[in-house]
Structure 1
């Protein structure tokens, strides 16, 4: 099978590419490297057993000719390319909206043209300001005003969902939508506001762990390998088209407790420093106080169950970040 992954040099995309290469498939990646990195897929390109089955295109998904060729070549499409991370989105609001909305429209248009099954990765952000848990795929959506650019990402991802469902209903396109809840693991960077790698790096450097707000906001975290298993199983499920599925963990934790657990796991001398939102972000930022998914629907459909607990996730991220830190002096010497 030939698999196209938009955003395939990103954190989740590179793990998804690795999974399909291990299965013996051909993988085609397109990524503009705005938030992805070649270092995520370089080991795959050099791998003696399956490097020859990985084809990488450094380009934007808005390039019609490139996407036309890739979509026509491949059997299925995973659409992961998007603006990601709160900090990146607040700094690049127009670019983020354009790539999320116009980019997804381009992917769907070409998948409909070639009748290719496509999986769209949406986000738990689409639920907005709900305080209840767990969040169910049929819940209403509650956003803040348009002046709060925090919600531009959520609204753009919701527009992606509407467009995919419209293609399913009007063109019969086999489109599957997944809402991801805080996927974490090796290769994830904290540069764009991702909380666990950011706090882990601070702890390893014995710096204060910066927790925004009062730290009482809660999240669940899902290991990237568990997420990839869910994505690939949904792609193979004939009964998933035209549906929306949460993919996430069930272990709810406050960010303050998360920071304390990271300090313990790293044996760090760090303290915890609470930072007001207005100092951490632009003035038009709002946070979601609680974000816990219901995974009953995906459990019923494909038997999905996250198997990696939070302590194991933290160990994996800590080991990865330690490896990066140990490599840094060698890189500086070489340069």
Structure 2
């Protein structure tokens, strides 16, 4: 029997590339759409060796391209987005457009062809709500619309609202997943992700930069466990029309996380504190605590994380050491725009007006 083909937008990114590998391992044909602005072709090195894999270089803002690809696939996983605190703060307008218009484009095509769609959202939805653990029905607490920090949360809320309204009025078969601090191999520190940044600072013997007081707490889930959660939901009929938190409940302060990373790396690094205003500008706001309640996900799928924070940190440190060895050895790591020529698995098309 012919297996269902999946379109994964943003599939050259961190979570996307791991999901692509998992789908291919199940025997599912996969098409990836990514403009490589934050994703990397090297993340798809294993996938590109597979016969049932296709890469398309393009943007989710290219409506014609998206429509063509969705028409050829029975399922869509929409992961393409502008992500990371650093990117959102530095480029709020383009990030907002990508995260709203891009999702609208993909949803419209999924509706047109009756495709099942999974839409990636974020724990940022909850804004400054520092109570916890946070359920899918917990209130959103946001700062002023004039503060760019909250534009990402608002954009992803628009995505969720679009999915829900299309479901109610047009029968869209959608599922929303909210990621809480997913971490693991292939994650770049370039966009403000704390564990990759800490790991690279630790293996280099540099001070680990802690923003704010360091007392703010977070939970970190290994990407392999996040992908297992996605796979448990992707074909589940009961998941249609539902929203699920995906995260760990192992809570730690950022200051303690820094010390634990130093210990894991057996590093001589110190810890340096930096105010939020120094790091991101005077308007930046953050939340003190963010812990997910994953009761709903567990009830629907019996999913349980198989890896703890020690596993997360060990992989992050190993990743940072591997990167440092490549740099010391003079190896050139394939960048987002490199490595396309001569590979039959790569199809280059005209990108849309904005990056993804």
Which residue of structure 2 lines up, in the alignment, with residue 43 of structure 1? 46
Which residue of structure 1 lines up, in the alignment, with residue 316 of structure 2? 317
After TM superposition, give the deviation of residue 329 of structure 1 in Å. 3.1
After TM superposition, give the deviation of residue 332 of structure 1 in Å. 4.8
Higher helix share: 1
Asked if residue 217 in structure 1 is aligned to residue 220 in structure 2, the reply is no
Counterpart secondary structure, 1:36: coil
Which residue of structure 1 lines up, in the alignment, with residue 294 of structure 2? 295
Asked if residue 23 in structure 1 is aligned to residue 23 in structure 2, the reply is no
Which residue of structure 2 lines up, in the alignment, with residue 230 of structure 1? 229
Q: Matched residues in 1 for 2:31 and 2:333: separation?
A: 32
Q: Matched residues in 2 for 1:4 and 1:199: separation?
A: 33
Q: Which runs of 5+ in 1 are unaligned?
A: none
Measured against aligned partners, the alpha-carbon deviations of 1:241-260 in whole angstroms (never above 9, x if no partner) come to 11111000010000000000
Which residue of structure 1 lines up, in the alignment, with residue 54 of structure 2? 55
After TM superposition, give the deviation of residue 333 of structure 1 in Å. 8.0
Asked if residue 279 in structure 1 is aligned to residue 278 in structure 2, the reply is yes
Q: TM-score, with normalisation over the residues of structure 1?
A: 0.97
Q: TM-score, with normalisation over the residues of structure 2?
A: 0.91
Asked if residue 132 in structure 1 is aligned to residue 135 in structure 2, the reply is no
After TM superposition, give the deviation of residue 264 of structure 1 in Å. 0.3
Q: Which runs of 5+ in 2 are unaligned?
A: 335-356
Which residue of structure 1 lines up, in the alignment, with residue 341 of structure 2? none
| Matched ranges for 1:144-155 at <5 A | 144-155=143-154
Q: Which has the higher contact order (CA 8 A, sep 6+)?
A: 2
How many residue pairs get matched?
331
Measured against aligned partners, the alpha-carbon deviations of 1:56-94 in whole angstroms (never above 9, x if no partner) come to 011101112211111011110000000000001111111
After TM superposition, give the deviation of residue 334 of structure 1 in Å. 10
CA contact (8 A) 1:147 1:284 kept: no
CA contact (8 A) 1:121 1:179 kept: yes
Q: Matched residues in 2 for 1:330 and 1:25: separation?
A: 37
Counterpart secondary structure, 1:291: coil
Q: CA RMSD in A?
A: 1.3
After TM superposition, give the deviation of residue 31 of structure 1 in Å. 0.6
